[in-house]
Structure 1
Amino acid sequence: MLSWIRKNLSPALIFFFILVIQTNAQQKPNIVLIYLDDLGYGDVSAYGVGTLQTPNMDRLANGGLRFTNGYASSATCTPSRYALLTGTYPWRNQDAKILPGTAPLIIDTAQMTLPKMLKEQGYETAVIGKWHLGLGTGFVDWNQEISPSPNHVGFDHSHILAATQDRVPTVYIENGRVVNLDPKDPIQVDYDKNFDGEPTAISNPELLTMKWHHGHNNSIVNGIPRIGYMKGGDSAKWSDVDMADHFLEKGKAYIHEKAKSDKPFFLFFPMQQPHVPRTPHPRFEGKSGMGPRGDVILEADWVIGEMLKTLEEEGVLENTLIIFSSDNGPVLNDGYYDDAVEKLGDHTPAGPFRGGKYSLYEAGTRVPFVTYWKGIIQHGVSDALVTQIDLLASLAALVGSEEIGPDSQNLLEVFMGKSQKGRDSFVLEAYTKTALRAGDWVMIPPYPGPAVEKNVNIEMGNSPDYQLYNLKEDPGQKTNLAQSNPEKLEEMKKKYQEIRGDNSKIEQVELK
């Protein structure tokens, strides 16, 4: 390219060409954060440990920097989202746990957040997709403007589902107001008791099109039993099979609009796949051969491809940093009978790791993690230890902000592929229980509770004894070295206490 320029352009045009390149290089990049829900390390084919094929996720992973030691903060959704947006360990906030759809907003409106930091640096900001960080201050009147909302913690625009696809209210909320709500049919939501005359999975199983396995036996919407009770709001209820298309169209529209702006944009795009209920559009039914879980992963992969196509069409892909990850590890049976276990075949959602969603073992928090910036980040693989907690400080450094977040570390050079030196350590979390990753080692303190949670059939990491593993030699955490290496155990315990402090109070949380 440079030789062609030298041969065919005059010195004046060459100078102009270089000036344009330098000007564009100085522009702050757009940032798109694609965040999947319950996607495992082995669910992305670029990681080479599963059998499912994900070509668009692979385009990011193989064209950007693929991290093999990339972590969510937590093994469940709400805490990981809190950590990502605030740069704060979720165990510092007792409310940062899996929330009902009626929970108040757990991010303080005075708190620094990733979108707030970017707004201060001239960005336009949006969240489109799953929220699950609470809304309002207590009781939510779904028929009025809901405040505070994502718009009060740094997002200029929000189009979200309040909690999860399996929880009520089953409606979309845009900038604090329920979309398509008929005021003559007001919404009522309760997580403790049903409304008179409203069918549930227990009282009216004949209305179900999806059978519940555990926990999901309250109100029925679109034939699917949910967690929690809801009455009214029929015109506002979403179509489950159209949800991926719905959020895709909203995301594409936002990119089309903001690509014409003279300001950079930040789009947080938290997808609902492959969280339950898994409801692929008919276009994707049966496509994976693994049942609905595999189908919705392929649907999500297609959505990512469409988002990339939109960025290309608008001519902004080269000036857009894309970050791709998941909020926690995988789970197969998470409340519904949907053949996720029966049709898994040889696929390994957790990759080579032990555990899964909800677990203190590696598969709970080690997730797909990719940074992609066409022409800027060289494709490759990094073994550096990085976490989603570090995005706030790292992106602040990228855009010229001095914000760092309470626990966020500036790993910009690592995320850009300029350094292999990641974190030295961090404290991961699963259902309010915590463990330490430091160097190649993981230490899990003793915890009460079942070794295997029977509903989801996942090893939780609970044991009456300390557990110590060398992940470099034993990524599957098969050999506990706590007794054979007491010096390393004491070193890890000391480091853990320095970061975590008192961990004596353990809250037991029932999976629902």
Structure 2
Amino acid sequence: MQYNKFLIGALIILLSSNLRVIAQNDSSKPNVIIFFTDDQGYQDVGVFGSPLIKTPNLDKMADEGIKFTDFYSASSVCSPSRAALLTGSYPPRVGVPKVLWPNLEGGLNNQELTIADMLKTKGYNTACIGKWHLGDEAQYLPTTQGFDSYYGIPFSNDMSVNPKSKVSEDILFREGMTIDSLREQKWRGRKVPLMKQDEVVEYPVDQTTLTKRYTENAVDFITENKDNPFFLYVAHSMPHIPLYASTEFKGKSARGLYGDVIEEIDWSMGKILETLEKLNLDENTLVIFTSDNGPWNLKDGQGGSALPLRGFKFETYEGGMRVPMIAKWKGKIKAGIVTEEVASTIDILPTLAYLTGAELSEKPIDGKNMWKLLSGKKMKSPHKKEGFYYYSNTTLQAVRKGDWKLRIVKDKVELYNLKTDISESKNVALSNPKIVKKLQKMMVEFDSDLKENHHQYN
């Protein structure tokens, strides 16, 4: 009898322990971290072929997860690419087709369903850390777009302050700035504000410490939310120019200051992955790393590399929009996978909806659920049938379907087979008129449909 009591007690303890483990690793509510860099080129990661920049943490992440060779941002510039990521739509569909500037009207309408909005409906705690660049007026800030907290700069790090910004009572002024100089309409490039929630807390921000401070805030958020499902969006301000690195990293890379910046970003990813492991969250956390668009075309060493791709930021050649992408989720994403299938930032939102059971917007979006591809269960592009489209502002300039890419800019017709010509060096439009006609028809029909069904607001 005593033995039976002992056995029953042991079974209860074992079952309750297992239930706690199951609860902690409930994959129906995985934590999500999106790591979004600014103007980082396709080649600027070790595992993507950088000859001089060392990125051991990202390389290890690729070894333990999946690497996408044909992953696209939905724009070759900042604001549209961020709108696309957060809404799962091509930028013109959600009204953010071009770069936004401080103290000017416009932004991502807060009636849009963002990833943060969507995950809030499933009980997630949400944080945006880093560069926002989707409107700096009160109604456009992250705290109106589903994020519980915000810490970062509201636009690119070469811009100026909005003189109408809400200012904290404890604001730290630097470099001789005062409340009066902040309120002036004078443009002061590279003097950008640091915001917490909807208030400026430092002006101008010390950019040499930004990567480090973003990382510290990210680690704190993860730690504070270890027992709750969370969504963390870390949008680093760099390597957008001007470049800044902390004293610990400056002068250390063989690639100069640009390399210093990337290697500090790699350190940042390492600290976040290390935190997940320490808190036993790595088996229930999907981590995605990618960039908002391609690198600047600079000859002074401060721009990145998109090799072997053609083109740079601002362009719809591959170098402007094809970006590095690595994803990891221990136990859910197969290790060491490399896929050449086409996918995009617009596919992240519908994928997260699938994983969490969250409902999508009633309005049309462009992204597709790519979980089978992401997990390695089925190597097939979610855009195999419909194709992937390259917009510049509101103009549709190109489409990719399978290996073929058609680009039409100022009546110049270019056709490339990206399987055999990744550098877009040989225009084969004249020798493939049927393919040109088919892809051109796709472009016309898709663009017409998007313009008829762009999102409208109350």
Aligned partners of 1:503, 1:112: CA distance in 2, in Å? 18
How far residue 374 of structure 1 moved from its aligned partner, in angstroms, is 1.5
What letter corresponds to residue 392 of structure 2 in structure 1?
A
8 Å contact kept, 2:83–2:96: no
Question: 1:167 — aligned with what?
Answer: 159
> How is 1:310-389 mapped onto 2 (pairs within 5 angstroms)?
310-333=275-298, 339-340=301-302, 349-379=305-335, 380-389=337-346
How far residue 22 of structure 1 moved from its aligned partner, in angstroms, is 4.2
Aligned partners of 2:38, 2:281: CA distance in 1, in Å? 26
> How is 1:482-497 mapped onto 2 (pairs within 5 angstroms)?
482-497=429-444
Aligned partners of 1:375, 1:13: CA distance in 2, in Å? 26
How far residue 168 of structure 1 moved from its aligned partner, in angstroms, is 1.1
8 Å contact kept, 1:79–1:98: yes
Q: Relative to 1, partners in 2 of residues 1:178 and 1:490: Cα closer, same or farther, differing over 3 Å?
A: farther
How far does the alpha carbon of each residue in 1:90-146 deviate from its partner, in whole angstroms, 9 at most, with x for none? Answer: 12345431111223452222221111000001101110000011122xxxxxxxxx3
What letter corresponds to residue 419 of structure 1 in structure 2?
K
Aligned partners of 1:170, 1:245: CA distance in 2, in Å? 25
8 Å contact kept, 1:364–1:430: no
How far residue 41 of structure 1 moved from its aligned partner, in angstroms, is 1.3
How far residue 402 of structure 1 moved from its aligned partner, in angstroms, is 2.9
Q: Relative to 1, partners in 2 of residues 1:220 and 1:363: Cα closer, same or farther, differing over 3 Å?
A: closer
Question: 1:345 — aligned with what?
Answer: none
Give yes or no for the alignment of 1:284 onto 2:246: no
Aligned partners of 2:340, 2:202: CA distance in 1, in Å? 49
Give yes or no for the alignment of 1:70 onto 2:33: no
SS at match of 1:109: coil
Question: 1:481 — aligned with what?
Answer: 428
Number of matched pairs: 422
> How is 1:190-229 mapped onto 2 (pairs within 5 angstroms)?
190=185, 194=186, 219=188
SS at match of 1:384: coil
How far residue 429 of structure 1 moved from its aligned partner, in angstroms, is 2.2
Unaligned runs of 5+ in 2: 1-9, 194-199, 452-458
Question: 2:354 — aligned with what?
Answer: 397
Q: Relative to 1, partners in 2 of residues 1:496 and 1:235: Cα closer, same or farther, differing over 3 Å?
A: closer
> How is 1:15-26 mapped onto 2 (pairs within 5 angstroms)?
19-26=19-26
Q: TM-score, normalised by structure 2?
A: 0.85
Aligned partners of 1:315, 1:403: CA distance in 2, in Å? 30
Question: 2:110 — aligned with what?
Answer: 109
Aligned partners of 1:100, 1:133: CA distance in 2, in Å? 9
Q: Relative to 1, partners in 2 of residues 1:495 and 1:339: Cα closer, same or farther, differing over 3 Å?
A: closer
Q: Relative to 1, partners in 2 of residues 1:378 and 1:477: Cα closer, same or farther, differing over 3 Å?
A: same
Aligned partners of 2:404, 2:262: CA distance in 1, in Å? 31
Give yes or no for the alignment of 1:154 onto 2:116: no
SS at match of 1:283: coil
Question: 2:123 — aligned with what?
Answer: 122
Question: 2:407 — aligned with what?
Answer: 444
How far residue 49 of structure 1 moved from its aligned partner, in angstroms, is 5.3
Q: Which moved more, 1:421-430 or 1:93-102?
A: 93-102
Aligned partners of 1:42, 1:275: CA distance in 2, in Å? 16
8 Å contact kept, 1:126–1:157: yes
How far does the alpha carbon of each residue in 1:66-92 deviate from its partner, in whole angstroms, 9 at most, with x for none? Answer: 111111001111111000111111123
How far does the alpha carbon of each residue in 1:470-503 deviate from its partner, in whole angstroms, 9 at most, with x for none? Answer: 1011111111111110000001001111211299
8 Å contact kept, 2:33–2:233: yes
How far residue 51 of structure 1 moved from its aligned partner, in angstroms, is 3.5
Question: 1:471 — aligned with what?
Answer: 418
How far does the alpha carbon of each residue in 1:179-210 deviate from its partner, in whole angstroms, 9 at most, with x for none? Answer: 842797242254xxx3xxxxxxxxxxxxxxxx
Question: 1:406 — aligned with what?
Answer: 365
Aligned partners of 2:184, 2:374: CA distance in 1, in Å? 42
How far does the alpha carbon of each residue in 1:311-351 deviate from its partner, in whole angstroms, 9 at most, with x for none? Answer: 22222122111011000011252xxx96437xxxxxx8212
Unaligned runs of 5+ in 1: 1-9, 137-145, 195-217, 227-232, 342-347, 448-463, 505-512
How far residue 283 of structure 1 moved from its aligned partner, in angstroms, is 1.7
